[in-house]
Structure 1
Amino acid sequence: MTLSEATELLAYLSRFDNRRPSAAAAEAWSRALADVPLDADTKAAVDAFYGSIPLGGEGYQADRSRWMQPHHLRYHRQQIRKARADLAPPYTGVGGDVRQELVAARQHAAAAASGRLPPAPALPLPGDRPRFETTTRGAALVRAAARVPSRRPELKAPCPYCRATAGAPCRNRRGPLGTIHDVRLRAAQDLADGRTPPSADQLAAEQEQRRAASAAALTTRKDPA
C-alpha cells in the first residue's frame, strides 16, 4: 500500500469511526500494509469489520472500542479472499517440473482469491442411492479432481494397485484419495524413463510369487530335512 493509498484508506475509515487522519498515521498504515493494495477487497474488509457484531457482545462498549487497526484489516481481507477461493475449481497441475508447478499453483491461488476464476460447478450426487457426503473442503476438492484429468507428472501412468486411469487420482473402496500409491510413483518414473510400467495383472502376479516364495521359505525352516 502506497502512502497515497493509505491516506485514502484512512479517509474511508473516518466515515465509520470519526478518526482524524494524519500524515503520520498514513505513513504507519502504509508500512504495516506494504503488501496489501487498496482495492475492493480492502474496502470490503473495512465494511465487514464495522458491520460485524463485536466479540464481546453488548458489554464490549462497541461505540467506543470499535477502532480498526491494520491487523484487523489484514484478517478480514484474508477471510474474504479465502471464502472466494474455496468456491473456485481445484488446481490440477500444468505437467511441468516442480518449480513450474509451484509458480502455476501460486498463480491459480491468486486468481481464485481475487475472483478471476469462475466458481466450481456443484458436485453431482454419486448415483441415485443416498450416501453420506462430507462437507469438508479437502474431500470436496478430491471428488472434484476425480472428474478432471490431472496433468501432474506422477499421475501420467495408470495405477497398477487400484487400477486408476492415467490422470485420475488413486482410489480405495470409499472413493478418490488425496495420496498416491507407491507403486504408481514407480510406474510414473518408469514411464518418464522410457520403460513400460507394470500392469495391474503383472503386479498381482509378482505379489503372488512373493507370497509363494515366503510360504516355501517358512516351510523349509520348519522342516529342514
Structure 2
Amino acid sequence: MTPADAAEVLALCAAFDLRTIGEADARAWAYALRDVPLDDDTRRAVADHYGVTEKRATPADVRRIRARIREARIGAAHPVYNGNPAETGAQFTERRRAQLAAAADGHLPPRSITQALDAAPPAAVLALTAGVGRSVDDEPRPYITPEQRSAVRATLPNQRAAMPALAVACPVETCRAAPRRLCKRGAGIELRITVHGRRRDAHAVQFATCPECGAGPGQHCNAPEPHPARIRATSVEDDEAEQHRIARLMSAPPVPRENRARHTAGGMRP
C-alpha cells in the first residue's frame, strides 16, 4: 500500500469517524499496511469495522478484518489440490499458494466438500435412496415369500417346525401364551423345545381329525381329552405343509407386548 492508497483508506475512515487526515497519517498507515493492497476487501474491512463499533479504526483492525473476509471465502470454496508426483516441493508450495489466493480472491465458487472431492455417491446408491420412504398407508410386505422362508428354515435347527402347537394359544392359566409365542414356566422362563400338554391337545383338536371317534377339526373327541391317535396324527403331518404353515405364521406381525415406562430412580409405573 502506498501513501496515496493509505490516504484513500483514511478518507473512507473519516467518512465514519470525522477524523482529520494529514500527510504523516497517510505515510504511517502506508508503512503499517505495506504488504496489504488497496482493493475491495480492504474497503469492505473498513465498512465492516464501523458497522459494529463506534471506535476509530486502526491499521490492525483493517488487517484483521480483511484476513477474516478472505479466510471465509477459502473455507466456503474448500480448495483441494491433487498435486503432481513429478513436482518439486517448491512447485507444490507455489501452486498451493496460488490456489488459496484464487479462493481468497473469490475466483473459486463456494462448494461443498463432496463437490470439491468429486465424491458423488455411485449410481447404485442413488437408485437405492430414491426408494427410501413410503406412505404409512402402504401395505407392508414380508421380506421373503413363504416358499423362500421354508427353504431357509430347512437348513436351520428345526425347533419351531417341530412345535406346530405354537399355531394356537396356550390354554394353561399360568401361561396363556399367544399364537407364535413360546410357552413359559412359572418363573417366566420360555420353553424353547416343548409346549404345555394342554396346548398340544388344543392344537390337535383344532387341526386334526380323530382316527378313533371321527371328530373333525374344531370338534372335541367323545372323551374328556383328545384321543392319543389324534395327537399322533398332528405330530406326523406332512413336513412340507408344516413348514409352509409356520412360514405364513412367522410372516405375520407379532402381537405387540405391553410397554411400561421405567422411573429414572428405579421401579416401574404403568
Q: Which has the higher helix share?
A: 1
**Greater C-alpha Rg:** 2
Per the normalisation by structure 1, the TM-score is: 0.49
TM-score, normalisation: structure 2: 0.41
